Structure 1
């Protein structure tokens, strides 16, 4: 019976049309430079139209070059344009289709909007989409060719930073300061792909084509090429765990800072770029990452306008004009049907976008669950290895070197205490040039937390660490009424313990406080704040 039903279902589905879905590949949002705004807008529109003309298989109508609305139908290479004007804005939008030259039934769609808004530079946005019956299309993203034309002939920038076709080269430590400023800029929305030269390379990496990569991510990412002298400055500023050097490459996502989790900002080691094939794989991954980030970090309807939304607004205005002009019922019905069809298209596009975000959410949730599970396994494994070392009579921290100053402190914690103790972003900020001068003493206290204190907490010895002397004049104690809550890694904790030096001094140069708690889930000490005395109700 089951076999018969399967046969019937298979037979029926063979005669059903294949489902074609539209996938969004990337989004670009920026501004056009130029003192005379209307001229800058017209120049950008002209570049887009020249690109569309080359791909449409014929000649666009005269209305196109007059900046008017038009529809051009050419057997799959269709183009539609809408001009929407008001007292305070002037929006020009085009949607162009282009069948893939190698993959059957795959059609590329490009949407571009050039907008003039009152007292603002020219707004420019673009979307690249693909329609295909493929269940899981394998795509190597590349920004459309007209983006290069706009950058070269009009100038395109984002957050006052211009785009360039070639990678930006940083040769000296002084050059690196400019890059560092952009890396930590909280308003940055695009990833930075930092590629470094090995000592024996003079101008370009031997395998990774940075020029091709820069063109592929033009408008959705920046490519920086660093000489060895510039990489030293990055290492000095961010430490080895957050830096990149020696022929390696690294992507710095938006939100990067001095205390960022180094593992979020992916590092591609030099040995992963040794061959042309491995470098090509890394470049594909970088292009895919830039495209994905462009969709996740730009909002449809705010940063990027869809062609359907502008066409709908234009059709609504047209329908209203027909009613005011007392047009014939047939004309009004035709306009209403056009609006309905356009709204259906917009709804379909929004459904596709929603499905994309749901799929990305599920992927991220699965990755988070896997990462959390692996972190717990790693924590237990670390504890097991430490116990085995101690059972042999050895001390794994016996020859540990302590940081001599605060500039080395964060990197030292990440390297020497990984898996046992973690600093929250707030604690990281506290270690940037604090008034408390003795960085080595603070480091010795953290080592005690990561070893003796952590061991006792894992073994259930909570109260036994109260008022324990860590070193001369420094104790571990309960926070008591000064306990406070804080958020870390998406969870809420209570900082119920702190390390303090003796006396009741409030002199910041001599007063040490380290507020922390123990996280049984990750088996780590979580340091919430240091090294200054935290203000509370009692103080």
Structure 2
């Protein structure tokens, strides 16, 4: 008899949301929110829920492949209530959606808390969906009000209408304690709205991201404040994740170019990618057990509480046994779900490692190609960087380095921070020094040199050892010792006239890594 191996159904988490319920009376707010959640749950079944559901009692319903389970806990310290709904996908066989909602408050300790998780169980290797918050979230937000960080959630995008609005947006993006993703959609020149449907995006990302529309007349503020490499303009969209700063890696806060080219639905693809970025950030940032309470945790706490109550009240052994068996059954269900999640995480880790290795191979290939083309140019007697435009301001310096010196010279995060506030009066002079590092110095290292190039590289500018100013640095390549720098002559420490470029050679990437510039670095010796 032939047997067929069917794909295993695995459960994976799509998104998490945490917030506070509106209203100063936590108990009333939680009761109102529970009423709205139960109304939504009834629509998932197409039939009324048990009459005791409105009283916050525990219940279970199984009907037509759908389940609805509620549990709760009330003691002297807290009141908790949680509900989980499982329902099959309307279009894809064997795909099941799970929505978990938890409400809770501590008497006399602020507002009631709300959290939500969306999970999916499916045998699909590639999940082709567009993440969106469940309708129950919008229902609760409308009826009860939901806040994050004291700010009410809005299901409509924020449209920047003035230079001050744009300044406020930059200030919000750079807040170190920001906890929500910003999806910034710009309007192309000559148009009145973004190419991405921002109102729909704001609706489906409620609680996950704040959607912002920036007309073309105000995008220059972002470019001036953030620099070209971290800005967004000309109809593009960008996801600014929590933790964004002026020295952030532009790749981490991804930019999406959108156009009107016939036959390409790049706006739809960009919107889908933005949804995934916000959803993935929520599962990465919000911690289970602290920011978000899982249904399983509430159920186990409730069952523990009930068993302890029965024990202390001297209930019959039969009643205690029933409670114990109920807890065992719940633990088995939680264990199965946890195993599915663990398998999914393991598979995702393997896929991520494979993608990282592929990208690393592609990067090495690109570097080899750049070196090959550079050698061809030199073989013809030409100088590769002749005629290149040099940055005239420090605001554009990091972006210039990324574009012109890619694969040859890179600014570490510390150097990126410093060049944005640099006072050295000649950014073009500093740029020429980096070109020397990316050309003559790098060639000497690739061809077997030890990097001991103590020599003048321009009038009044030398490459030399740091000497007593050498220092250890921990950056993108781990801990290294920085022993070389480029410096100009004179004994001045005036940051307007003093030039210092501290760097090291990374053998793995075959690149020069600049860790500090353009000012003299304070060390133990100085």
Query: TM-score with structure 1 length normalisation?
Result: 0.90
- Note the C-alpha offset of 1:464: 4.5
User: Residue 329 and residue 180 in structure 1: after superposition, are their counterparts in 2 closer, same or farther (change >3 A)?
Assistant: same
1:23 aligns with 2:21: no
1:139 aligns with 2:134: no
Corresponding residue for 1:57? Answer: 46
SS in 1 for 2:20: strand
Q: Quick check: 468-477 or 308-317, which moved more?
A: 468-477
Given candidates 145, 156, 166, the residue that maps to 1:176 is 166
Alignment check: 8 A CA contact 1:259 1:410 kept? no
Corresponding residue for 1:372? Answer: 360
Provide the C-alpha distance between the structure 2 equivalents of 1:111 and 1:490, rounded to a whole number of angstroms: 41
Corresponding residue for 1:5? Answer: none
1:310 aligns with 2:298: yes
Corresponding residue for 1:48? Answer: 37
Given candidates 281, 291, 306, the residue that maps to 2:269 is 281
Equivalent residues in 2 for 1:431-470, closer than 5 Å:
431-466=419-454, 468-470=455-457
- Show CA shifts across 1:22-73 (max 9, x none): 3322221222233333333233222212211222222122332223333334
Provide the C-alpha distance between the structure 2 equivalents of 1:161 and 1:519, rounded to a whole number of angstroms: 46
Alignment check: 8 A CA contact 2:100 2:116 kept? yes
Given candidates 478, 498, 518, the residue that maps to 1:531 is 518
Provide the C-alpha distance between the structure 1 equivalents of 2:45 and 2:210, rounded to a whole number of angstroms: 31
Q: Quick check: 82-91 or 316-325, which moved more?
A: 82-91
Alignment check: 8 A CA contact 2:444 2:451 kept? no
- Note the C-alpha offset of 1:319: 0.7
- Show CA shifts across 1:465-503 (max 9, x none): 11x112232211112343323233253332121112223
- Note the C-alpha offset of 1:236: 1.6
Provide the C-alpha distance between the structure 2 equivalents of 1:130 and 1:45, rounded to a whole number of angstroms: 23
Equivalent residues in 2 for 1:175-324, closer than 5 Å:
175-202=165-192, 204-206=193-195, 208-271=196-259, 277-324=265-312
Alignment check: 8 A CA contact 1:172 1:227 kept? no
SS in 2 for 1:26: strand
Alignment check: 8 A CA contact 2:259 2:267 kept? no
Given candidates 116, 124, 134, the residue that maps to 1:126 is 116
User: Residue 18 and residue 269 in structure 1: after superposition, are their counterparts in 2 closer, same or farther (change >3 A)?
Assistant: closer
SS in 1 for 2:370: helix
Alignment check: 8 A CA contact 1:513 1:531 kept? yes
Corresponding residue for 2:67? Answer: 78
Query: TM-score with structure 2 length normalisation?
Result: 0.92
Provide the aligned length of Structure 1 versus Structure 2.
Answer: 525
SS in 2 for 1:465: coil
1:501 aligns with 2:491: no
User: Residue 142 and residue 275 in structure 1: after superposition, are their counterparts in 2 closer, same or farther (change >3 A)?
Assistant: farther
Equivalent residues in 2 for 1:336-415, closer than 5 Å:
336-415=324-403
Alignment check: 8 A CA contact 1:151 1:165 kept? no
Alignment check: 8 A CA contact 2:184 2:213 kept? yes
Structure 1 unpaired stretches of 5+: 1-7
Root-mean-square deviation (Å):
2.4
Provide the C-alpha distance between the structure 2 equivalents of 1:422 and 1:369, rounded to a whole number of angstroms: 21
Alignment check: 8 A CA contact 1:410 1:428 kept? yes
Corresponding residue for 1:3? Answer: none
SS in 1 for 2:420: coil
- Note the C-alpha offset of 1:239: 2.6
User: Residue 222 and residue 433 in structure 1: after superposition, are their counterparts in 2 closer, same or farther (change >3 A)?
Assistant: same
